[in-house]
Amino acid sequence: MEKVLITGGGGFLGSRLAQSIKAKHPDARITLLDMAFPPGLDPQFTCMAGDVSSPEVLAKALGTDTDSVFHLAAVVSGGAEADFDLGYRVNLDGTRNLLEACRKLSKPAKMVYASSVAAFGGKLPDVLDDSTTPTPQTSYGTQKVIGEYLVADWTRKGMLDGRSLRLPTIVVRPGKPNLAASSFASGIIREPLNGVVSECPVPGDTGVWILSPKRVVEAFMHAYGLEGSAWPSSRVVNLPGITLSVREMIDAMGRVAGKASVDRVKFVDDARIQGIVKTWPVRFRTERALAMGFKADGNFDDVVRDYLATEGITAK
- Residue numbers annotated as active site: 140
Cis link prior to 172 (omega < 30° from 0)? Answer: yes
Rounded Cα distance between 25 and 28, Å, is: 6
What are the residues facing 208 on neighbouring strands?
Answer: 244
3-state helix, strand, coil in the chain (%, to 5): 45, 15, 40
Q: Dihedral, CA atoms, 23, 26, 32, 38, nearest 10 degrees? A: 50
Ranges of H-type helices in the chain:
12-24, 55-62, 77-82, 84-87, 94-102, 139-156, 183-193, 213-225, 246-257, 259-263, 271-277, 287-291, 300-311
Q: What are the residues facing 211 on neighbouring strands?
A: 170
Task: Give the strands of the sheet with 169-170, arranged side by side.
Answer: 169-170, 207-211, 242-245
Please state, as a whole number, how many other Cβ atoms lie within 10 Å of the Cβ of residue 64: 10
